[in-house]
Structure 1
Amino acid sequence: MPQTPMAKRRKLEKASPSKPKKSGPGRRVQGRLQNMLSLPLDVLFGIFSELLPMDLLNLARTSNTLRQVLMSRKSTSVWIAARRNAGATEVPEPPEDMSEPAWAQLLFGPPVCSQCSARNIHRVDFALRRRLCTVCRKRNLIFSIKFRSQCPDLKESVMDLLPYTKIGGWAHGHASNSRFYWKPDLYEMGKRVAELEQDVSEGKPGAQKRLKSFRVERILLVDSIIQVRSLSTRRSCSIDRASNQGSVEFEKWAVLRSRILMEGYDDADIDFIGMHNVPGSNVDKALTNDVWSRIRSKVNTTLSSARETRLLDDRRRRAKEHKSTAEQYYSELLRQVLPIQRLYLPALSHASKLSCFRDLVDSDREVQHAEWEHAATQLPLSLSEWMSRQKEDTTSLLPSQSAEAKAMEITLLSSPSIDRWRMLNFAGQLDLATSVFHHSGTNTVLIGRDACHAWKVEGQLWFSARGAEAVHALVQELRLVSATATAHTLDQLDKRFICGGCPEDTARRHTWRSCVAHFVAETDHVYPQWQVVSPDEMASTSLVRRERSSSVPDYSFSIDSWLCNHCSDYLAPQTPLRFGSRVMLGNKREAIHHVKAECVAVLPRSTFISDLPIQTQH
């Protein structure tokens, strides 16, 4: 079949090779602003000053040259001008640890998570300087109470050098009184502190001074971050991006603001509720005298209520910040105090009630840093007064009181006579085993210095005559003197006793502390009868089996807690102990590991003390 002309043409086109494509760069499209960077810097900065922060951020991403220009220190004035152009309300200045571009990115950047870039994350956590999604919060936030278990290779003092947030991963955006730390920041700070401490251990010149100044600077920075966190959060929420849509709306709001200020209100009253919530702010008409006369009463009512709420919130905020500042100064001093004395000191939550801080905490104004520093110098004296007063009140409950004139004074780890204080009976007559008390709030029997735990919680202490009677009988059985036998002495003897008032078939072997609890509980015992268990009886199988099967607690208030009596990094200051519950703050195994790892080269004598009852571990 003959081919048609069209078929022949298609066959030739298919057989012929295609034209080769041109290689190399194509023709570049020349823009109108290609020579913009050749302009003088003052002209460029004048142009850039009319932009908004987000415009500057986008402009800096267009080329490396523009990025170098906008990210240099010379362009700081441009970012400040852009920040002032950002809204009808004033945008807060950046913190001292953030630059203007970083602050603009945090406030006006895209609503994405700073860690995983998840979208629609509008809330800014000003304490952590991040936008964080719920998943990243759950993965990276460390609850302060769980620090020891989740960061075992870091010292707890690292937490003092970092800011914290009060919104946890499972809080659904609601703040609490707990403290959560960003885990990567903790390890980064731990690495930095370890490097400085390594320089100190190697004896490098000026290393000790650098470490001390670094800690002071970080503590001051954290203090400033915590103080401005709530204010920055509230004011940043009042940045109205709608004002960027045009200058007409901005001018209307400026006229309305001037009218409000003439009524006697402040900018803070307007910023507290936001300009868009003020009556008349959404009116399309110009704010003439007639319009103002119609909305004036509504504006006054709204702003008057806002002012009352703002002042109340400011008072609460100041009180909370003042209390937090007092606790920070107290926490810093606790790390310098001989750890055994923490038993007698008030809880962190009581710092605001100390005489040196009381007036500052109750002050209805912003307290200057110099005032806090002056009050901190009086803190050791205030703590000594507090302990002495508590000791006098507790000792006055005893039926017979010795003439003790010596007050309880704070002893620092840096004191030249520190070794003499480590093993000294600090509580005087309260160290005696016959000082037995009953705590009304928890129905707990406290012996000797254990009563000092009750100073940290609510409730009254009463002298337990029945408990003291049981101890007198125990002391006589051991051939000791009641006037000098301390609870620590009986703990060291570690004897076992059998109650003579119980039937022989039900008699159990007791420690001296459980003897007291037993006699107080068994009211049918007319008087205490104790028999010391001999070494042969101690080894007998029947008594061992009977002791193991006993369901009676060894002591009514038992807390297995160990502190290092030589350094302050083993255990951070804790919240008040809860009576009737077991609070594990540090065990014996961890204590021994700490001695071998960090303190073995510098330890004198006994170093670790058990928190309740106080014991030594060689």
Structure 2
Amino acid sequence: MKTRRQSGTLPPSNSLAEQDSDSEFEHEIDLYNDESDQSDYDATGRNADQPAKKKRKVSAPKKNASGKENSEELTLSTLSLDLLYEIFSEMEPADLLALSHVDKAFRQVLLSEQFSPVWKAACRNKGAPKCPSHLSQVKWAYLLFGGSACFSCGSKGIMRIDFALLRRACVRCLKTNLVYSRRFAQFFPDIDPTIMTLVPHTNIGAHAHGHASNSKFYWADDIRNMHQELSTFKKGKRKLKSGKSENLEDFKAARMALVTQIVEYAPRCKEWSSEVIYEKRVTKAQLQGQRVNEIRERFKAMGYTSDDVSCIKSWNTTGEGPVTDRIWTRVLKDREAEVIKAKTERIRRELEQLRYSRSTVLQGQYSTYKSALPPSAWAYLPRIRELRQFPQVASILDASPDIPVNTTIFDDIMRSLNELISSWSNHKRAELSEIVESSLPSTGAAVVNSTIPVVDRLECASTVFTCSGSGCSAKDRVLVSIKGALVHGCLTSRRRYSSFQLSEDLEESTEITFSPRLSAAAASIIETAGLNPLTVLPSDLDTRILRFVCLQCPPQKHGYVFGRKAMSWRQCLAHYAEMERFVEHALPSWERLSDAVTSNIVRREGPDPADHARAWTCSHCPAHVDNLDSRASVVQHVKSAHNVDEPRTPANYFFYPGASRPLRKEVIFPMIDPNSNKTMDPNANFRCIMCGNSARRFVQVGIISHLKDKHKVLETKEGVHWAQVQS
């Protein structure tokens, strides 16, 4: 099917009602006809020539039996014209238009010349532009206030009025009926193009989305009607109904003047219409806002709060009137579930905030309690999250919101805290003892054959536990002796929480188990160091400067150095824990490095990274009870606050047992690479310590010459400047 653009023709025109020959504006919409009860366009904008819809049959109302009652009925049709005039003067244009369709009597009254001032006043009261001289007040009122229906097809919601064409038109009708001036000949090949000077035009096309341009567009029916109007002239003249004759030239001159008047007046009317549309939108938004506020108030009356109702960001309401019971029932059905969910979440937050406030009070009082104890005892006290789990404490934290938050709510707890902590500590030690006892048959031989009581064995460095917490790294997962297990507390991976989220939400319950495998590894390390695994404490090993290599790990290249990793005894345990899944590490096997090599290893390791960790505390006072600090800061505190010139650990300060201690830098113990292509002198068993990780080997004379030439060392010492390589 060809479109009108392809065919160059317009669809057939809708028939229009015949207009008076002496009409000032022949092609305007004949909204009302005094001689007929129907206009060409009814109140909805539908063409009257279109077939009317079949009316639904209704039963006629029953007549009153009493004629007296009928005679007493008072209707508008029985009122005097003066009284009607007064009534109609108070009405708005839209109401007058609706009233004009009540019956023929009202129509005749409202359309009479006598009531023209009523229409004029109604339009003026609404701030409407002055009615043009070529239109009647009724037609002007209909154009401005006659609803939002398209004048051609009756489609609703057409807010924009084209004041040049004097009509409302939907986009579909605009596309169908507008004629672009440059394509006039395509659509009207038999009509003189000069006719366009006699017809008003608009500068807003059908595809312009309401935006003006410099082009001219004409309504097709206006052109047809004008062409028909011109055909009434015979030899340049025609007779009017009044009997007078009219010249064609005079008619054209009047028409061109009228077209100019319409086109020039249209922008002013458009500006007013835009303001009205904007005000309607603002008013609609205000009314919808009032409806939303009314809905919110109804929710509040049901016991919900503003926070509960504010969860609904968009109400999707299109209504502007008050909230009826029917509307409220529908709103409840659609939205109450969201409000209930928001209320539940609000109550949870409020209880959480209340619990946090109470926990803050507990934290302060617990810090005061800890401050009265020696710092060495802090690590063996329950952590604040463990204290919150005490039934006596939890009952206060979770108490009714009616109980106020103050500094006295935990007074009873503080008075009995010594007994509570003692009971907790004994219970925890008993649990760990039971864990070790139940695992003894599978422990190493050194542990099994011992006759030392289990309780004493718990303090030994050969008793190792592990933590299953997901927040523990390999080095933190290894817990040496019962003290390591008692002070351990692991953190899960950090997540985003509200500002008052309790710290216990960042921690998970720690499950500590006895590890026969790591206990056997610890016993092997202790035996390799020449000590008794049943009597050595972790502090004994920490005070000794010992380095080991794992013999289960084959020597390999680490960068440019061939050899094995040199490790402290704690690094050995962490290494063995990491290698649990490898068959090669089923049994532990270690080698202790000589004192000379160990001194070189320690020198190459550099400063202990634990010195910079904020995990040190003073041994004399509670200055760091809630504020652990670096080693240097704590040492300075001990010097200034306690007048100790040379602070020593652990007498004056110590690393907090419950903190995660960073391991020292890994250093490679160099060895001879058997796969090296270089031929090496079998007597080259000396290595330069001052060259760091260099794998170069020297004979005895060569190492002395090397130190003298490169490092300017004249008097060499073993373990300081050179070391003998163990093959």
Confirm or deny a common fold (TM above 0.5).
no
The structure with the largest helix share of the pair is: 1
TM-score bracket, normalised by the shorter chain, equals 0.3 to 0.5
Determine which structure has greater relative contact order: mean sequence separation of CA pairs < 8 Å that are 6+ residues apart, divided by chain length.
Answer: 1
TM-score (normalised: structure 2): 0.28
Q: What TM-score, normalized to structure 1?
A: 0.33
Give 1 or 2 for the bigger CA radius of gyration: 2
